[in-house]
């Protein structure tokens, strides 16, 4: 919990203070979050449809993490982890629909960049990534003028041009692939189903229905077209980076907060489960001069909590952000020693919804180590173990005698040890953080409506 302590006494910093031995000292950083995009629906992750030409092109000169695992299946906690390096449980934002703010004591990635002399700008779809929940902290500019990438793209490009002569950290986020799936006719045609109407998906995964619809294939097609739309706008941004001559001095990370379920495990949407289709996200990282050969990294990694340490280390900003750094997996020779392989580091994903509601089985935590994974429903006290090496879709639970089931006790201990900051558990030892979430329940009506528009219930 020392990591959550206030960092008020920080040394003065500036753009010239980047560590010279960093991979890309003083470089700009662009973090792109394509909301609700599952890894296996992108071309660079082997998908059969051409959903992601822009990200694929980026990936050709980037490190691609083949097994990047999100820490949460819904927007607020996954982005909270992405911006703080802390587990959603430690941030106290696991439960849905509790919708609590990020604790004030959690140091934000944008604050690190700002203190290091970077210009900081965010252009997001709002909703669960809006300033209300604490995401604007550290940003000079925090724009959320609409839910999709295109709604904020002009602002992002203007800001980029304005700040191109100084180090900058830019966060770009869009809900293009989030229900209700929005796609242009051009994107549907490009994928070969121009005859499909967006209306085909209307009402999909509503408040009551959690049954596999007869037109599920059409709905998945519309989801794919919506990914392609998001990709097109991300591509527009990446093109501008090139045109401005910034690509050679800009680290770019493209990821997602979570995936989407299409009845692989009996449900749709996201939020409630932590199976592969919801927690396996893209993670594509371009570092000028380091990843031009397009390395493919097979080791499973924590996607969300690795973001701050990785980005800051790459550009040489001294920091004490929690969360593992992926930089050791990128360098030449990094694979030569076993110590560089984080395979044995457990990866946690967690959801917290009420059992019975919309098909939920209650709070669930997954622990992944290498190819093995334990999914533990804590209220049910039931466990499912999978070996993703032979069963990547997590469809056939291992027999109950398998050793993975013995992780359950350790997982409970981990959960207990990482209790948050809300007056229970470690919160008792961190009084300063005790009232961090105060006022979290007062969500402004306008924001509530935006969350309803995104299909969230009871906001």
Helix (H) or strand (E) holding 282: none
Structure tokens at 307: 């973001």
Q: Which residue is nearest to Zn ion (CB)?
A: 75
Q: What span, in angstroms and rounded, lies between the C-alpha atoms of 365 and 369?
A: 13
| Complex with Zn ion: residue 230 or 288, whichever CB lies closer | 230
Q: What is the largest CA-CA distance in the chain?
A: 61
| Complex with Zn ion: residue 226 or 319, whichever CB lies closer | 226
Nearest distance in Å: CB 384, Zn ion: 24
256 binds Zn ion (CB under 5 A): no
| Complex with Zn ion: residue 35 or 115, whichever CB lies closer | 35
DSSP labels for 262-300? ESTTS-EESSS--SHHHHEE-EEEE-TTTSTT--EE-S-
Q: What span, in angstroms and rounded, lies between the C-alpha atoms of 218 and 193?
A: 9
Tell which positions 314-353 bind Zn ion, by CB under 5 A: none
| Complex with Zn ion: residue 71 or 75, whichever CB lies closer | 75
Helix (H) or strand (E) holding 362: none
x/- map, 59-98, Zn ion, by CB under 5 A? ----------------x-----------------------
3-state secondary structure at position 99: coil
378 closest CA partner among 345, 403, 415 = 415
| Part of the chain binding Zn ion (CB under 5 A), chosen from 34-42, 43-51, 227-235, 236-244 | 34-42
Of residues 257, 367, 384, 436, which one binds Zn ion by CB under 5 A?
257
| Complex with Zn ion: residue 190 or 205, whichever CB lies closer | 205
Tell which positions 113-152 bind Zn ion, by CB under 5 A: none
| Complex with Zn ion: residue 89 or 114, whichever CB lies closer | 89
Q: Which residues contact 68 (CB under 8 A, 6 or more apart)?
A: 39, 255, 280, 281, 282, 283, 300, 301, 302, 303
Peptide bond into 176 cis (omega under 30): no
Q: Give the number of other CB atoms < 10 A from CB of residue 199.
A: 9
Q: What span, in angstroms and rounded, lies between the C-alpha atoms of 345 and 302?
A: 9
| Complex with Zn ion: residue 35 or 436, whichever CB lies closer | 35
| Part of the chain binding Zn ion (CB under 5 A), chosen from 17-25, 28-36, 228-236, 307-315 | 28-36
35 binds Zn ion (CB under 5 A): yes
The alpha carbon of 6 is separated from its chain's Cα centroid by a whole number of angstroms, namely 25
| # residues near Zn ion by CB under 5 A | 3
56 binds Zn ion (CB under 5 A): no
Point out which residues bind Zn ion (CB under 5 A). Answer: 35, 75, 257
């Amino acid at each position: 919990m020392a990591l959550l302590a206030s960092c008020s006494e920080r040394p003065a910093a500036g753009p010239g203070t980047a560590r010279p031995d960093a991979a890309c000292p003083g470089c700009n950083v662009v973090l792109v979050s394509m909301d609700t995009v599952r890894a296996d629906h992108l071309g660079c992750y082997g998908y059969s449809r051409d959903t992601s030409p822009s990200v694929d092109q980026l990936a050709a000169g980037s490190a691609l993490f083949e097994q990047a695992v999100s820490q949460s299946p819904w927007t607020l906690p996954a982005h909270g982890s992405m911006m703080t390096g802390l587990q959603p449980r430690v941030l106290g934002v696991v439960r849905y629909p509790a919708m609590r703010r990020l604790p004030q004591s959690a140091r934000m990635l944008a604050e690190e960049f700002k203190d290091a002399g970077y210009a900081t700008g965010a252009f997001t779809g709002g909703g669960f990534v809006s300033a209300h929940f604490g995401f604007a902290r550290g940003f000079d500019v925090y724009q959320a003028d609409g839910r999709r990438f295109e709604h904020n793209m002009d602002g992002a490009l203007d800001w980029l041009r304005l700040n191109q002569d100084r180090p900058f950290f830019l966060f770009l986020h869009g809900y293009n692939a989030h229900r209700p799936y929005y796609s242009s006719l051009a994107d549907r045609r490009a994928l070969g189903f121009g005859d499909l109407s967006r209306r085909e998906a209307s009402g999909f995964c509503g408040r009551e229905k959690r049954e596999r619809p007869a037109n599920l294939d059409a709905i998945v097609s519309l989801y794919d077209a919506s990914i392609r739309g998001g990709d097109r706008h991300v591509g527009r941004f990446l093109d501008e980076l090139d045109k401005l001559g910034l690509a050679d001095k800009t680290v770019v990370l493209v990821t997602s907060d979570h995936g989407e379920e299409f009845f692989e495990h009996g449900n749709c949407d996201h939020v409630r489960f932590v199976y592969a289709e919801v927690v396996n996200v893209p993670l594509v990282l371009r570092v000028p001069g380091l990843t031009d050969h397009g390395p493919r990294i097979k080791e499973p990694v924590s996607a969300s909590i690795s973001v701050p340490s990785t980005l800051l280390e790459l550009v040489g900003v001294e920091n004490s952000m929690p969360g593992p750094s992926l930089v050791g997996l990128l360098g030449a020779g990094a694979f030569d020693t076993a110590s560089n392989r984080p395979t044995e580091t457990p990866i946690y994903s967690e959801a917290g919804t009420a059992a019975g509601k919309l098909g939920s089985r209650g709070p669930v935590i997954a622990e992944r180590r290498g190819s093995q994974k334990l999914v533990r429903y804590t209220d049910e006290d039931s466990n499912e173990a999978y070996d993703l090496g032979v069963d990547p879709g997590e469809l056939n639970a291992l027999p109950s005698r398998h050793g993975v089931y013995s992780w359950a006790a350790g997982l409970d201990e981990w959960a207990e040890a990482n209790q948050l900051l809300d007056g229970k558990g470690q919160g008792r030892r961190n009084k300063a953080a005790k009232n961090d979430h105060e006022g979290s329940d007062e969500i402004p009506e306008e924001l509530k409506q935006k969350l309803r528009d995104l299909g969230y219930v009871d906001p």
